[in-house]
Homo-oligomer: A and B are copies of this chain.
Amino acid sequence: MTIKLYCFGESGNSYKAALALELSGLDWEPVFVDFFNGETRTPEYRATVNEMGEAPVLVDGDFRTSQSGAIQAYVTEKSGRFGGKTREENYDILRWVLWDNHKLSSMAGMTRFLINFLPEKHRNPDVIAFNQGRLKAAYQVLDAHLEGREWIVGDGVTNADLSCCGYLYYPEPFGFDRAEWTNIDAWLTRLSEQPGWKSPYDLMPGNPSDRA
């Protein structure tokens, strides 16, 4: 049975799940979520797809889960890919996935939304500047960690990489300049050279030109 992933192109959280599915070789297909017309905020979406009102959501037969980190764990369980080789590596992957959710992707996603997708009259420059300050601290942690390393945990691609990269390949500006972060830049290039890698808008339906 084909795994279904509720997702949309602009969502870096969806991208984390879609990229894990795609690189794992599992059979999957996207189900487009019309976020920009309010689908995730409808009572129907909350009642039948995800009470958290978010994408991505994975459905595999009777199994269903949401949150990119939980979906990635499921992909690892089902495909054997992107987990750790040792118990210690598994804890390290979990802590980087949590750090990403707490400090990196959550802030990057929100800031990119405020700058690129929210009507200009609702954009608050103070909020954007505050978030970008927090993001700079996160880039520093990740860039320092990647010094002398090819991957975030161990010697191959894991869910730690597939989580932290979630918003970093998007073309829309949100204050992240790869050229400023040498180790992050090299790591993103390395990851994008993995067989089967695709950019967010090539992997999932929906992109900003749909609303142009």
The residues of B that contact A101 with a CB separation of less than 8 Å are 98, 101-102, 106
> How many angstroms from the CA of A137 to the CA of B145 in the assembled complex?
33
A122 vs chain B, min Cβ distance (A) = 10
Give Cα distance in the complex from A53 to B144, angstroms. Answer: 12
Measured between beta carbons, the chain B residues less than 8 angstroms from A105 are 102
- Known contacts A51-B141, A51-B144, A106-B106; is-contact A95 B66 (Cβ 8 Å): yes
- A141: chain B residues at CB < 8 Å are 51-53
Given the complex, which residues of B lie within 8 Å of A127, measured CB to CB?
126-127, 130
Interface residues of A in 25-76 (CB under 8 A from B): 46, 51-53, 63, 65-70, 73-74
Q: Which of A52, A74, A137, A141 has the most CB of B within 10 A?
A: A52
Answer yes or no: A91 CB below 8 A from chain B CBs: yes
User: Once the chains bind, are B51 and A70 in contact (CB under 8 Å)?
Assistant: no
In the assembled complex, the Cα of A67 lies from the Cα of B73 at a distance in Å of 17
Number of copies of chain A assembled together: 2
- Cβ proximity bits A75-118 to B, threshold 8 Å, 1 near / 0 not: 00000000000001001101101110111011000100000000
Contact (Cβ within 8 A) A51 B145? yes
A-B contacts, 27 of them at CB < 8 A, read: A46-B144, A51-B145, A52-B99, A53-B137, A53-B141, A63-B88, A65-B91, A66-B95, A67-B94, A67-B98, A67-B99, A69-B95, A69-B98, A74-B91, A97-B98, A98-B98, A98-B101, A101-B101, A102-B102, A102-B106, A103-B106, A110-B134, A124-B126, A124-B130, A126-B127, A127-B127, A127-B130
Task: Please list the residues of chain A having a beta carbon within 8 angstroms of any beta carbon in chain B.
Answer: 46, 51-53, 63, 65-70, 73-74, 88, 91-92, 94-95, 97-99, 101-103, 105-106, 110, 124, 126-127, 130, 134, 137, 141, 144-145
Q: A51-B141, A69-B95 are in contact. List 9 more A-B contacts (CB 8 A).
A: A51-B144, A65-B91, A65-B92, A65-B95, A67-B94, A74-B91, A124-B126, A124-B130, A126-B127
